[in-house]
Every structure is written in structure tokens, then in C-alpha cells.
Amino acid sequence: MESNIEKVKKELKQRLLYPSKQDINYTSYSYTLFQANMQRFFPKLDITHFEELYKQFIYSQHLVVFDQHDLKKLDTLSIVNNSSLALLPSHLKEPTIFATFHYGSYRVINFYLLKQGFKVVLITDGPAYIKQKEKCEKLFFKYKDEILKNNSEFIILNVKEPAFIFKLKRLLLNGYVLVVYIDGNAGSLKEKNNNGRVEIDFLNSKINVKTGIPIISLLLKAFIIPVVTCWGEDEQLEMTFYKSISPNNYSDSKLYAKDTLLKLYSILEEKLLTNPAQWECWTYINKWFERDFHLPYEEIDRKKIQYKFNNKRYSLFSLKENYYFFDKFSYRAFPINENLHNLLKEEKIKKIESSILENLLSKNVII
């Protein structure tokens, strides 16, 4: 008999395959950022693949939620342990941090560790703490009696709490393990004034990422074990633990932070080169770098104008009944009216008023 989860999955797949006009409008801004970010980090990727990748991306975000309510998946979870450590509570003698990303079925790591009998502490900050605390704890207690039946424990700590680092140190010394999401770079560069961040090479560009976790590792002399959980064929889960990173060989916090982040993000890069759609951050990674790049407009050869919308450089979106065309290189949005938006979208270029058309040609919106 088909489960409720399977029914919802089928409905979601149909909706993604045949989206309504309302669905398309609702997701147009998200899709625009997705395209811009994919082009920045995968410049050689054919833009005709973006729509299908975006549908996979949306489905993956829903699948994360489905998986956290389907703990039977833990029974068929495939484990690859390259960490050189036996992943049992009695075998981890040093303070330990499990570092993962918002990639694949990223919430499963918490339940896997709890099922193994670990005491887990998860850290979040600000608004995320308020949103996640009650929801995560409720889910843990729901499955504690039904599935876990062991001495596992689950705590969420707010990094903004007074004496946070001392509370965390006490927990780790008492046998808890820390689970962190390395790509939890909340906020923009301007909001944070770039404090507590370091710039690293990432795919075909650069990003500014938080240094907090490596610094915590160094302060508490905690080993970092990278782990990624992804979907394979038929949505089967594979969890891979990578070689552990030790702070013991470093005295320079800045050097350790950058080296550690480069090692961690290289693991993510490897996954993204195989399947980029499983990463949640494609619609907001643009907050992790300065968006001040401007690509000069090209001179138009009037004899070669095709009167087509330049979808390599621009995209269209609507937001709260307002309409825009968006420069995917500079991340600048230009307001337009609904009529022009529809003419551009439907490629009815020659119906555009001549003065407006000239402006669009000068900005290479029309080529």
C-alpha cells in the first residue's frame, strides 16, 4: 500500500513537471538567483539545463523534510567510513565535531548519531535558534521512545548565549558530540562587516565563509570529522565520513581556520561537480561575496540584431506584483511594467515601443 509520503512525492513531481502560472510567478525570483549563482560558479554549464536543475533543486529541498519523517531510511542507510575512527560513543576519546553541509539529506546525520547512542549538541544562532529549537526537540522526543530506545540525548545551543563556549566545552568533556553545518553563513557581508570570515577559492569563484567552527575546534582541541549524506539511485541514502582534521598541529588560529575551511569546502566541491542540485544554498550563496562586478555593455551591430531576449546575461522575475529584468552578472534588478515583462517573456520583441526598445538594446537586454 502506498504511504502518505509517497503520495505527496508523486504530487510534487507532477507539480514540478507541469507548474501552474502561479507557481512559476511565485518561484521566479528564487529561480533568477539560482541561475545567476549557477552561472557564476559553473560558467561552462549550458543555461538550457538550468530549468531542469532548478526542479531537481526544489525537489531535493522537499526530500530533506520527507526523510526526517521517514526514519526507516536509517535501516537501509549505506555508511562509508574514511575517518579512521570507529564511530561509536565509547571509541571517541577526544572532543569531536561532526561537520556537514546543507547538502543532500543533511538532517539524517543527527538521527544516525542518536541511533548509535551518541549525545548530540547542535548549535545555531539568532532567528534560526528560535525556529529550530522547538521543532527539532519535538521530533527527537517523538522518536526517542519509538525508535532510539538508548541513552542518546539531544541539545540545541544558541551561539549568542552568555558563556556559550564554556557551556559547549562542558558538554563535549561530558561525552557529547557537536554537529555543525559549515555553510550556515547567515547574514550578508555588509551586515557582518566581514568580521569572523575568510575568503576562499570555491569552484570557479571566491566566497567569504565564517571561521567560527575551526576556531571552536582549536580552542577546545576538538577533532573535526567531515560527513556528507547524499541521495543515490532510487533516493537511497549514502553517508560518507571523511578523514578527520586535527587542531593539534596548529598554533596559528588564522592558518588553521583557512586550511580547515579549504579542506571542508573541497569535499563539498567534489559533491557539487557530480550533482549540484542537492545543495540548498544556491538561492542565497550570493550573500557570501561582494556583488560589485559590472560587465560593460557591448556595441550593437545593427545588421546582426536577432531581436531576442538575452537570457545568458538577464532573466525576468516578478515579486509582490512588481516586475523586473535582472542582470545575472552584476546582480542588479531593473523595474519594468507588467506589459513589458510579458512581451519580453513571450519574445514579442517587435511589439515593444521603439524608445524602450532602444534602451533595452543599449543594455544588451535585446540582442
Q: How many distinct structural domains can be found in the chain?
A: 2
The residue among 288, 306, 327 that closes a domain is: 288
319 and 232 part of one domain = no
Q: Give the pLDDT band (50/70/90) at residue 137.
A: confident
- Does 12 reside within a domain? no
- Does 342 reside within a domain? yes
Percent of residues, the chain, with pLDDT higher than 90: 68
274 and 152 part of one domain = yes
pLDDT value of residue 127: 64
> Who wins on pLDDT, 22 or 192?
22
Q: How far is CA 25 from CA 48, 109, 352, in A?
A: 19, 35, 22
Q: What is the mean pLDDT of residues 300-319?
A: 92
Q: Are 91 and 85 in contact (CB under 8 A)?
A: yes
182 and 267 part of one domain = yes
* Single pTM value for the model: 0.91
Distance between CA 331 and CA 294 in Å, rounded? 9
Cα Rg of the chain (Å, integer): 23
Q: How far is CA 19 from CA 11, 22, 23, 24, in A?
A: 11, 8, 6, 6
Burial 296-320 (b: 16+ CB within 10 A, else e): eeeeeeeeeeeeebbeebbbbbbee
- Does 48 reside within a domain? no
- Does 264 reside within a domain? yes
Distance between CA 278 and CA 103 in Å, rounded? 6
Would the pLDDT of 253 be above 90?
Answer: no
Instruction: Render 14-68 in DSSP notation, one character per residue.
Output: HHHHS--HHHHHHHHHHHHHHHHHHHHH-TTS-GGGHHHHHHHHHHHHHHHHHHH
Q: What is the mean pLDDT of residues 334-348?
A: 95
248 and 307 part of one domain = no
Those residues with Cβ within 8 angstroms of residue 112's Cβ, 6 or more apart along the chain or in another chain = 74, 77, 239
Q: Average pLDDT, whole number, for the chain?
A: 90
274 and 297 part of one domain = no
Query: Which grid cell sits at 211?
Result: 571561521
The residue among 259, 288, 317 that closes a domain is: 288
- Does 115 reside within a domain? yes
158 and 277 part of one domain = yes
Q: Give the pLDDT band (50/70/90) at residue 254.
A: confident
> Who wins on pLDDT, 184 or 237?
237
201 and 151 part of one domain = yes
274 and 235 part of one domain = yes
Q: Give the pLDDT band (50/70/90) at residue 206.
A: very high
Output DSSP code: residue 298: P
The residue among 288, 321, 340 that closes a domain is: 288
Give the range among 129-133, 251-255, 352-356 with minimum mean pLDDT: 129-133
Domain that holds residue 351: 292-362
Q: What is the mean pLDDT of residues 206-230?
A: 95
Q: How many helices (H) and strands (E) does the chain have?
A: 11, 12
* Main-chain dihedrals φ then ψ at residue 180, nearest 5 degrees: -135, 150
Q: Are 36 and 328 in contact (CB under 8 A)?
A: yes
Output DSSP code: residue 330: T
CATH of the domain at 219: 3.40.1130
Those residues with Cβ within 8 angstroms of residue 246's Cβ, 6 or more apart along the chain or in another chain = 223
Q: Give the pLDDT band (50/70/90) at residue 113.
A: very high
pLDDT value of residue 188: 46
Q: Are 221 and 214 in contact (CB under 8 A)?
A: no
128 and 219 part of one domain = yes
98 and 233 part of one domain = yes
Would the pLDDT of 106 be above 90?
Answer: yes
336 and 306 part of one domain = yes
Distance between CA 62 and CA 353 in Å, rounded? 43
Q: How far is CA 53 from CA 24, 45, 118, 224, in A?
A: 15, 11, 36, 32
264 and 323 part of one domain = no
> Who wins on pLDDT, 102 or 90?
102
Return the closest-CA partner of residue 363 out of 323, 333, 322: 333
**Interval 153-204: pLDDT, tens:** 999 888 888 899 999 999 999 999 999 999 986 554 554 455 689 999 999 8
